[in-house]
Amino acid sequence: MTTPPFLQIEEITKTFPGVVANDKVSFDVAAGEIHALLGENGAGKTTLVSTLYGLHRPDSGRIRLRGKEITLRSSRDAIALGIGMVHQHFMLVQPLTVAENIVLGMRSPREPLLSLGPASQEIERLSRTYGLEVDPAAQVWQLSVGMQQRVEIVKALYRGADLLILDEPTAVLTPQEIHELFNVLRRLKAEGHAVIFISHKLDEVMAISDRVTVLRDGRVVNTVATAGTDKAALARMMVGREVLFQFDKPPAQLGDAVLNVRDLCVMGNRRQMAVRDVSFDLRRGEILGVAGVDGNGQSELVEAIAGLRPAASGQISINGRALAAFQPSDLLDLNVAHIPQDRQRVGLVMDFSVSENLVARLFSLLPFARSGFLQWKAIRENADGRIKEFDIRAPNSEVKARSLSGGNQQKVILARELSRAPDLILASQPTRGLDVGATEFVEGRLLEQRARGAAIIYVSTELEEILSLSDRVMVLHRGEIMGMVRPGEVTEEEMGLMMAGEKRMTAQEKMEARQS
Amino acid sequence: MKSGLSKRLEGLRSIGLGQALSWTLPIWAVLIAFLVGSVIIAGAGANPIQAYAALFRGAVGNGGLVATTLVKSIPLMLAGLSVVLAYRASVFNIGGEGQIYMGALFAVWGGTLLHLPAGVHLPIVLALGMVGGFLWSAIPGYLKAARGFNEVIVTIFMNYIAVAIVSYLVHGPMRESGWNYQSRAVDESARLPIILPGTSLHLGLVVALAAAVLAHILLFHTTLGYRLRMVGFNAEAARYAGVKVTLITVLAMALSGALAGLAGAVEIAGVQFRLLEGFSPGWGFDAIAVALVGQLHPAGVLLAALFFGALRTGANSMQTAVGLPMVVVQVIQGLTVLFMMIGAAVQHYGLWRPARREK
């Protein structure tokens, strides 16, 4: 007799008003398996695992654990059955210590008194077993994002989880942290835990999973063994068509210099020098990639050029105009477009309609306003045009930006920022969190702008993306330029060393590399 | 640093502004408030049906009473609009009461110290009232925008200061000799004319209606209103888009204060004519309820103010007819706001617990 799989999902259907989030979804997970759940945003991955964690009940279908059918009324039931979940947004109380967070909501053996001592020992033991390196006495707010995620993993293990669900765990991590997370997952697997790993990133799924279940529009497309498939095949299943991984990029047609940055220093939020003595030039028709591990001064550099952050010293001039103190309102005059890193918090007003968001920078100009009065007709016509041009999937221009998917939100920002044929485009992680189709769209639009003669700064933490898109790449480490290289003339290994700050260019090379 | 109170207010704001609420919500809130109110009335030993009948008759039973209801609604309309204007920019103006006092003070100065021809005097007096409220609320606006002070705390405390200043002035420098603690009356030329002969209904109603129309145009049809709402929803995004957030925040608070100041000036020029200690029965606070029940829309505010005005007018005859104290009306008023909030929360979160869905 064969033993049944550890977890079986059978024909789970879940509908929300107007949407079928999951449509007869079936798959199974074995103990000691890392099972990836792959799909674009909105494919129904989160709904499915929320059902598995008891956060909502399916309309129909069955869940079997160790062969026995289970009913989950709440996450409490799920935890009792050994199901643990690490949410995309961590559920930690910042001012409390790691140990306090982990025992939160559990009965203490010395009720009503806390008993953190034994808990701390257990946390340390788990931490050693799985290589998590979690300090039970540390306060959560002091920990890095990657560390907080490990606290979440320990929390689930402490509650006795045999099945661990990780919802887009790599979205917030640096490449190193991702590497470390994968090591942890492999140890969990070796100890016989089952892991469900949700992602829309093909490389990661290929690297870590044993099997992949691909979801599209709430349905299972297929479940395949990772070893027997490849990225292209998975992308096809996920998107439903062929996907380009390499762009045919014509050689750069360089024009006049648009941006000159000299000896720029910028302070970061924690009053540290986030950008140190950065100098470079950027010309029309050129894409300058800015590579580096997240948090090495990329955002501060872009924000300084966008006028959102004052320069501590040094000079920025755009189209020959050097401004002592940039204001964000100057971007309009200088014809600079800025695609900010945080599209929901900075790039959009989520409660404004799409049409209102599409004029966010331009609302006071003709034809959208006349002598201080908004011209709604022009604003709506503009929106209808942009929605068509940028293929923004919205029922109409008057729905709130909040109601759009991440990819379509980014399209709204692109449509607005690119609408005035900008001379300089500051694109900060424009594809972060986007699915394959939307990423392809964003990259394609930026290449169009390059061909038109825009100068583009392209910040990304995805090395592959930067190398395929950029004409030149600046590598930042702790706010300093480690290297200015050309894709094709550099190995990924060299780039990695520069990103880690272990290889840097000489002063002479720096001078020479300024110009394109 | 945010106090617990202001955090809670922000929570309410996100419920009130974050999504379009059903327009029927206030109607349900009023109906349920009356239903629950009837239990309280019965508990107090009166017949709820008789009480409500008296309340209704007392509010709109004849032309004179309708006029009284309208007159009582006018300051609530203006002060309610004031709250909406600030709220839309994510500024919590709890200082309406103080701004009403300052508006009234400025109006009385203009009405007693200036002597101008009719037709010129009145507009100037009303404008002075707005200036009083504008200046008084620009202070918390500046402190919030430029110095990071919590506007809820500052405006609450500034209410006490404004009331005390007026109190001091009518006891001392502005006291009319030989009389009780009150100022001289404003000139005839500074008074709002009666628009319905034989009643107390004055031109202030037209002023309030015009203010509502202008507030609507300002919020939804001007670039200033766009900036204001943008700052209200997401100050970070507004800054990114080139909006001067500090300036807009100060301006929103100051314009809100100007409307509250106008409420005070209209009450002086239309009803009271002179400054008295404690002349406002708490319009500045009721205005917050009016704005919420009016769903932060100028037109909704007009209707909500009418409802609250009618309650206040009808309360008198309810007292004489069935012997119920005025506070019963305040209970109904409070219940309406409470059920409004509950309704908004239910619509936002669902009845039992937050609904989770895929983003």
Across the interface, which of B241, B243, B358 has its CB nearest the CB of A42?
B358
- Indicate the average pLDDT of chain A: 87
**pLDDT at site A332:** 84
Q: Which residues of B touch A (CB under 8 A)?
A: 17-19, 220-226, 229-230, 233-234, 236-244, 355-359
Beta bridge partner(s), residue B26: none
pLDDT tier for residue B16 given thresholds of 50, 70 and 90: very low
pLDDT tier for residue B66 given thresholds of 50, 70 and 90: very high
**pLDDT at site A243:** 60
Calculate how close chain A gets to B22, using CA atoms only, in Å.
16
Taking CB atoms and an 8 Å limit, are A50 and B356 in contact across chains? yes
Across the interface, which of A55, A346, A373 has its CB nearest the CB of B221?
A373
Residues of B in contact with A46 (CB under 8 A): 358-359
Calculate how close chain B gets to A485, using CA atoms only, in Å.
31
pLDDT tier for residue B8 given thresholds of 50, 70 and 90: very low
ipTM higher than 0.90?
A: no
Please tell me the distance from the alpha carbon of residue B236 to that of residue B240, in angstroms, as a whole number: 6
pLDDT tier for residue A94 given thresholds of 50, 70 and 90: confident
Given a cut of 60, whether residue B19 has pLDDT beyond it is no
| Structural contact between residues A462 and A245, judged by C-beta atoms closer than 8 angstroms | no
Calculate how close chain A gets to B214, using CA atoms only, in Å.
12
Residues of A in contact with B240 (CB under 8 A): 306, 308, 328, 338, 340, 346-347
Q: Identify which of A397, A468, A457 has the alpha carbon closest to the alpha carbon of residue A430.
A: A457
Which is higher by pLDDT, A177 or B78?
B78
Share of chain A above pLDDT 70, in %: 94
Compute the average pLDDT of residues A182-211: 91
Q: Identify which of A204, A197, A187, A207 has the alpha carbon closest to the alpha carbon of residue A132.
A: A187
Taking CB atoms and an 8 Å limit, are A329 and B244 in contact across chains? yes
Please tell me the distance from the alpha carbon of residue A34 to that of residue A29, in angstroms, as a whole number: 8
3-state secondary structure of A196: strand
Nearest CA in chain A to B357: A47
**pLDDT at site A516:** 59
Residues of A in contact with B236 (CB under 8 A): 345-346
**pLDDT at site B7:** 44
Q: Which residues of A touch B (CB under 8 A)?
A: 16, 21, 41-42, 44-47, 50, 55-56, 306, 308, 327-332, 338, 340, 345-352, 356, 360-361, 363-364, 369, 372-374, 376, 405-406
Please classify residue B198 by burial: count the beta carbons closer than 10 Å to its beta carbon, then call 0-12 exposed, 13-18 middle and 19+ buried: exposed
Across the interface, which of A55, A328, A349 has its CB nearest the CB of B230?
A349
Q: Is the dihedral of CA B65, B67, B69, B75 positive or negative?
A: negative
- Kindly give the residue spans of alpha helices, DSSP state H, lying in chain B: 4-17, 25-43, 48-60, 63-88, 96-113, 121-147, 151-171, 204-221, 223-233, 235-240, 245-267, 283-293, 298-322, 327-349
Mutate which of B223, B243, B296 to disrupt the A interface (most A C-beta within 10 Å)? B223
Q: Where are the beta strands (DSSP E) in A30-82?
A: 34-38, 60-65, 68-70
Residues of B in contact with A348 (CB under 8 A): 234, 237
Type of residue numbered A59: D
Compute the average pLDDT of residues A52-72: 90
Compute the average pLDDT of residues A111-139: 87
Calculate how close chain B gets to A42, using CA atoms only, in Å.
7
Taking CB atoms and an 8 Å limit, are A373 and B222 in contact across chains? yes
How does DSSP classify residue A20?
E
Tokens of A126: 């788990």
**pTM of the predicted protein model:** 0.76
Residues of B in contact with A338 (CB under 8 A): 240
Question: Are A7-239 and A257-335+421-513 equal in CATH topology?
Answer: yes
| Structural contact between residues A323 and A316, judged by C-beta atoms closer than 8 angstroms | yes
How does DSSP classify residue A353?
B
Across the interface, which of A328, A350, A361 has its CB nearest the CB of B234?
A350
| Structural contact between residues A402 and A350, judged by C-beta atoms closer than 8 angstroms | yes
What does chain A come to in residues? 516
pLDDT tier for residue A459 given thresholds of 50, 70 and 90: very high
Residue ranges covered by each domain of chain A: 7-239, 257-335+421-513, 347-419
| Structural contact between residues A364 and B242, judged by C-beta atoms closer than 8 angstroms | no
Q: Is the dihedral of CA A435, A437, A441, A444 positive or negative?
A: positive
Across the interface, which of A16, A329, A351 has its CB nearest the CB of B17?
A351
Across the interface, which of A55, A360, A376 has its CB nearest the CB of B241?
A360
Please classify residue B149 by burial: count the beta carbons closer than 10 Å to its beta carbon, then call 0-12 exposed, 13-18 middle and 19+ buried: middle
Taking CB atoms and an 8 Å limit, are A338 and B240 in contact across chains? yes
Type of residue numbered A99: A
Mutate which of A329, A330, A343, A351 to disrupt the B interface (most B C-beta within 10 Å)? A351
**pLDDT at site A512:** 67
- Kindly give the residue spans of alpha helices, DSSP state H, lying in A143-190: 145-158, 175-190
- What is the Cα Rg of chain B in Å? 21
Nearest CA in chain B to A357: B230
Residues of A in contact with B244 (CB under 8 A): 329
Given a cut of 80, whether residue A343 has pLDDT beyond it is yes
Look at phi and psi of residue A82 and say left if phi exceeds 0, alpha if psi is from -120 to 50, else beta.
Answer: left
- Helix axis angle, B204-221 relative to B63-88, nearest 10°? 30
pLDDT tens by residue, A292-334: 877 788 989 999 999 888 888 998 999 888 876 778 888 888 8
Calculate how close chain A gets to B347, using CA atoms only, in Å.
14
Residues of A in contact with B225 (CB under 8 A): 374
pLDDT tens by residue, B296-310: 899 999 999 999 999
Please tell me the distance from the alpha carbon of residue B335 to that of residue B37, in angstroms, as a whole number: 8
Residues of B in contact with A349 (CB under 8 A): 230, 233-234, 237-238
Please tell me the distance from the alpha carbon of residue B12 to that of residue B9, in angstroms, as a whole number: 5
Q: What is the CATH architecture of A7-239?
A: 3-Layer(aba) Sandwich (3.40)
Residues of A in contact with B241 (CB under 8 A): 328, 360-361
Taking CB atoms and an 8 Å limit, are B359 and A46 in contact across chains? yes
Tokens of A511: 């001078």
| Structural contact between residues B266 and B56, judged by C-beta atoms closer than 8 angstroms | no
Taking CB atoms and an 8 Å limit, are A373 and B229 in contact across chains? no
Compute the average pLDDT of residues B208-226: 95
Calculate how close chain B gets to A251, using CA atoms only, in Å.
33
Given a cut of 90, whether residue A171 has pLDDT beyond it is no
CATH of the domain spanning A257-335+421-513: 3.40.50.300
Please tell me the distance from the alpha carbon of residue B72 to that of residue A400, in angstroms, as a whole number: 38
Given a cut of 70, whether residue A124 has pLDDT beyond it is yes
**pLDDT at site B348:** 67
Taking CB atoms and an 8 Å limit, are A328 and B237 in contact across chains? no
Across the interface, which of A329, A349, A374 has its CB nearest the CB of B221?
A374
**pLDDT at site A18:** 66
Taking CB atoms and an 8 Å limit, are A374 and B224 in contact across chains? no
Residues of A in contact with B234 (CB under 8 A): 345, 348-351
Calculate how close chain A gets to B80, using CA atoms only, in Å.
23
Nearest CA in chain A to B237: A346
List all residues 6 or more positions away from A3 whose beta carbon is below 8 Å from its beta carbon. A67
**pLDDT at site B112:** 92
Type of residue numbered B70: L
Which of A35-44, A393-402, B181-190, B263-272: highest mean pLDDT? B263-272
Calculate how close chain A gets to B65, using CA atoms only, in Å.
40
**pLDDT at site B21:** 63
pLDDT tens by residue, A9-43: 999 999 877 677 899 999 999 999 999 999 877 78
Task: Indicate the range of A151-165, A397-411, B211-225 predicted with least confidence.
Answer: A397-411
Please tell me the distance from the alpha carbon of residue B34 to that of residue B334, in angstroms, as a whole number: 11
Taking CB atoms and an 8 Å limit, are B356 and A55 in contact across chains? yes
Calculate how close chain B gets to A192, using CA atoms only, in Å.
30
pLDDT tens by residue, B26-35: 888 899 999 9
Please classify residue A319 by burial: count the beta carbons closer than 10 Å to its beta carbon, then call 0-12 exposed, 13-18 middle and 19+ buried: middle
What's the topology of domain B4-349? ABC transporter involved in vitamin B12 uptake, BtuC (1.10.3470)
Q: Please name the residue that has the structure tokens 């997970």.
A: A29
Compute the average pLDDT of residues B217-242: 94
Residues of A in contact with B218 (CB under 8 A): none
Beta strand pairing call for A321-322 and A273-283:
unpaired
Across the interface, which of B17, B226, B238 has its CB nearest the CB of A374?
B226
**pLDDT at site B20:** 53
The answer to whether the peptide bond before residue A367 is cis (omega within 30 degrees of 0) is: yes
Across the interface, which of B18, B229, B236 has its CB nearest the CB of A346?
B236
